[in-house]
Amino acid sequence: MTPLYNTLTQLRFGADEMNDPASSRKRLYDILVTQQGYFTTVQAHAAGYDSALCAYHVRRGDWQREAHGIYRLTDYPPTDRPDLVLWNLWSRDRSGRPQGTYSHATALSVYNLSDVNPSRLHMMVPPTFRRRGLLPGILIIHRGLLIESDVEQMEGYSVTRPLRTLRDLADCRMLSDELLLEAAVQAVHRGLVDPTELMSTPEWAPAISLTAQLRRALEKS
């Protein structure tokens, strides 16, 4: 998790500071610039905007309400993959800390590995993850535990690193062998994974035919 979320839970401002619009704008901008223009109600409150002021900026058109408790600065410049930031913030817990990490085919698309272009977003969440209401149709939720070395921090969201991504895909066999092999070869050629480490992982090693294909593909390239 980024230091931003830890910092937000610790911020305390005096009355004079909280009533200073310039300081509030600066604090909010420092948050949203790391999240491609997005921010949550909790983050806005921490920056100095109370509920009435949040509603005012929505009515005036300064902020766009993108989802429950999630806003985006209306005039923020276009960015790469803002959808990933939005649903990352959707996965937040009660303290405002995002719980989701993009994984599987979505992680491949982030790294531009193979020709995979999933129409839905794959997100890994902790086994204890809970959200009220229906799951958004755009999301496919996978439950599992990630360690710090499995996760890459991007601009406003996190994604499983290539080695963990390929391990997960080999384990669930979501992709055809052809696409998985293509992704693995590209990852090796770009220095994103070590082939020996990949082929020795518990998830990949049992796929004997796939391991043999990867060896042959690397020998030819």
**What pLDDT digit, counting tens, does each position of 165-194 carry?**
999 998 888 888 888 889 998 999 899 999
Full residue range of the structural domain in which residue 109 is found = 82-219
* Residue 157 near residue 36 (C-beta atoms within 8 A): no
Residue type for position 200: S
Which residue stretches of 162-204 are H helix?
A: 162-172, 177-189, 195-199
CA dist 158 and 139 (Å) reads 15
Q: Does the pLDDT at position 40 exceed 60?
A: yes
My answer on whether 205 and 97 are in the same domain is: yes
CA dist 107 and 113 (Å) reads 9
Between 16 and 55, the higher pLDDT residue:
55
Which residue stretches of 19-134 are H helix?
A: 21-32, 41-47, 51-60, 82-90, 104-111
My answer on whether 63 and 96 are in the same domain is: no
Between 22 and 14, the higher pLDDT residue:
22
My answer on whether 92 and 37 are in the same domain is: no
> Does 133 fall in a domain?
yes
CA dist 11 and 28 (Å) reads 12
CA dist 54 and 82 (Å) reads 21
> Does 210 fall in a domain?
yes
CA dist 213 and 215 (Å) reads 5
Instruction: Supply the pTM of this predicted model.
Output: 0.84
What 3-state class would DSSP assign to 139? strand
My answer on whether 115 and 65 are in the same domain is: no
Q: Does the pLDDT at position 52 exceed 80?
A: yes
My answer on whether 58 and 17 are in the same domain is: yes
> Does 2 fall in a domain?
no
Confidence of residue 16 (pLDDT cuts 50, 70, 90): very low
CA dist 2 and 4 (Å) reads 5
Confidence of residue 209 (pLDDT cuts 50, 70, 90): low
Among 63-67, 78-82, 138-142, 169-173, the range scoring the smallest mean pLDDT is 169-173
Q: Does the pLDDT at position 125 exceed 80?
A: yes
CA dist 13 and 111 (Å) reads 40
Between 217 and 177, the higher pLDDT residue:
177
Domain-ending residue, one of 22, 50, 73: 73
Residue 208 half-sphere exposure toward CB, CA atoms < 13 A: 0
My answer on whether 164 and 208 are in the same domain is: yes
DSSP letter (8 states) at residue 149: G
| CATH code of the domain covering residue 33 | 1.10.10
